[in-house]
Structure 1
């Protein structure tokens, strides 16, 4: 009996489809540039008690001292490393929607949505204006 209980979690993980998705989206993700395909940053995604997601850059791979020169308001001239670039996403179906994402290079804020892919190993992050057809998607890798 003890042996069965010992291996029950492993059996459940192997038998349940999408079990890796149960780990959720919170954690550290490596943002890959959709144009150059090179790593850009590490983003720490957190979930609030109300289920709302936010993400902040915890490491820039190139130019870690970069400032958000193109940003408006309180972000103008502030370090990009440590900056919150993703906020307000809420669970919707198999993903998260209704949030915003900042492109620090352009200083532009876009509508955002995202969803887990590849059994939770990747995160498809889409920033768009208006309808989601007008935008771009980045693939982030779980760290």
Structure 2
């Protein structure tokens, strides 16, 4: 009886450990290239140290009306308005919070030159919900991104 009980306890511990690891998720599952919900851009999410960042790697309309590469014309800092959009790091400082969620990040919207607090949630292997907000997450907007290329 004691051996059977000990075996049961060990098996239960193994099962709980396995489920805890699965529930925690993979912090690097977000790495790769994602197309935004509008289909106007692709963002490569990458990792530096223990933080996650994103950079624009593709634009549906890469050039301005004059045929030159688009720049960050709406940036509130005049010195940054000539920075090319392609290659621009517009997401920064995300940390993995568990359960396929990355929090405490910032996202820059080159369409209006504003910076927002941001969090990301991986709903499945190829779908990422990106929520930008001001103040609390309640006041914001969620965009659904689709994976293009896995890292």
Cα deviation code 1:52-81 (max 9, x no counterpart):
000000010124422111113353231111
Q: For 1:106, what is the secondary structure of its paired residue?
A: coil
Partner of 1:6: none
Instruction: Return the match for 1:97 from 73, 78, 103.
Output: 103
Name which of structure 1's ranges 23-32 and 52-61 shifts more when overlaid on structure 2. Answer: 23-32
Match of 2:41 in 1: 41
- What is the 5 A alignment of 1:102-121? 102-117=108-123, 119-121=124-126
Q: Which residue of 1 aligns with 2:11?
A: none
Q: List, as ranges, runs of 4+ consecutive aligned residues in structure 1 with deviation greater than 4 Å.
A: none
Corresponding pairs, count: 119
Match of 2:144 among 130, 139, 143: 139
Match of 1:3 in 2: none
Q: Which runs of 5+ in 2 are unaligned?
A: 1-18, 64-68
One of 128, 135, 139 as aligned partner of 2:133: 128
- Point out the structure with max Rg over C-alpha: 2
Return the TM-score normalized by structure 2.
Answer: 0.72
Superposed CA RMSD in Å reads: 1.9
How big is the shift at 1:85? 0.5
Partner of residue 86 from structure 1, selected from 79, 86, 91? 91
